[in-house]
Structure 1
Amino acid sequence: MGALRYAFPRALRLLKTDEFSSVFSLRVSSSQGPFQVLARPNGLAHARLGLVVGKRTDKRAVVRNYLKRSAREAFRLHAAEFGGFDFVVRVRERYGRAAAMQNREILLALMKRAARRCAPS
């Protein structure tokens, strides 16, 4: 039995400005609750994620980092379902630990919706 891997490797992340810009320029988005999800096909076998949490969301870096961690974890656990897409998740308002599970479900539903909308017909 192999060890469980909890890593979020660089291959699953959007890192460069051009990668973010290409997702923003396609403009396929879905919004609900605290999230806006933008998506575009990436031509790869795996999905990639980029996160945007601005200071308007919360002044404290601790809170912004928590929001990024929770979104990243939801994506990491379900990344296999989204193969071939780049996602940029914008967190527009903060939420606490009490609403985290509900917001993760909202995030996954938004990602599925955005992927459906930009998938080639």
Structure 2
Amino acid sequence: MQLAEMGDQHSGASGQQGFPRDRRLLKTDEYSSVFNFRCSQGGSFCRVYARPNTLANARLGIVVGKRELRTAVARNLAKRTVRELFRLHQADLAALDFVVRIVKPFGKSDVLLVREELLRLLHKSKRCQKS
């Protein structure tokens, strides 16, 4: 990442490009409420659960199990990929709480496929708003 990009990423002026705490699911109850709502979309690498929230913006939670991705390097790559995609597209997403669960291992060579799939699933999850 170049220095100019890093400066833009952390600038507080726009507020739309960061990933602050108010855009994250933090508590177990928040995750449970999304899972219990039972509205999900599945793909080959991940499954996206969604639930409407009362906020003006989308929030994200990530679940990556050791069973699916055995090494910490692989789990961190998965989480970075999901967070980065959410960060870049959060303005386009509906006011939903999303939980992304990784269901199949992937490596660096598959990151573009995972991003495309995840973006498609996040936008498909708008259906959960009407439930």
Q: Which has the larger radius of gyration?
A: 2
- Measure, in 1, the Cα distance between the counterparts of 2:54 and 2:130: 12
5+ long unaligned stretches in structure 2: 1-6, 11-17
Q: Secondary structure at 2:9's aligned position in 1?
A: coil
Counting matched residue pairs gives 118
Q: Give the TM-score normalised by structure 1.
A: 0.91
Q: Does 1:119 align with 2:129?
A: yes
Q: Give the TM-score normalised by structure 2.
A: 0.85
1:94 to 105, 108, 113: 105
- Measure, in 1, the Cα distance between the counterparts of 2:118 and 2:65: 18
Q: Is the 8 A contact 1:12 1:49 kept in 2?
A: yes
| Residue in 1 that maps onto 2:8 | 4
Within 5 Å, which residues of 2 pair with 1:56-67?
56-67=67-78
- Measure, in 2, the Cα distance between the counterparts of 1:93 and 1:56: 10
What is the letter of the counterpart of residue 112 of structure 2? M
Q: Is the 8 A contact 1:53 1:91 kept in 2?
A: yes
- Measure, in 1, the Cα distance between the counterparts of 2:113 and 2:69: 20
Q: Is the 8 A contact 1:11 1:48 kept in 2?
A: yes
Residue by residue over 1:69-109, the C-alpha shift from the partner in whole angstroms, topping out at 9 and shown as x without a partner, is 10110111000111411000000111111111121010010
1:28 to 16, 24, 39: 39
Q: Does 1:107 align with 2:104?
A: no
Deviation of 1:51 (Å): 0.2
What is the letter of the counterpart of residue 108 of structure 1? L
CA RMSD of aligned residues (A): 1.3
| Residue in 2 that maps onto 1:80 | 91
Q: Does 1:46 align with 2:57?
A: yes
| Residue in 2 that maps onto 1:15 | 26
- Measure, in 1, the Cα distance between the counterparts of 2:91 and 2:101: 21
Q: Is the 8 A contact 1:57 1:92 kept in 2?
A: yes
Deviation of 1:5 (Å): 2.6
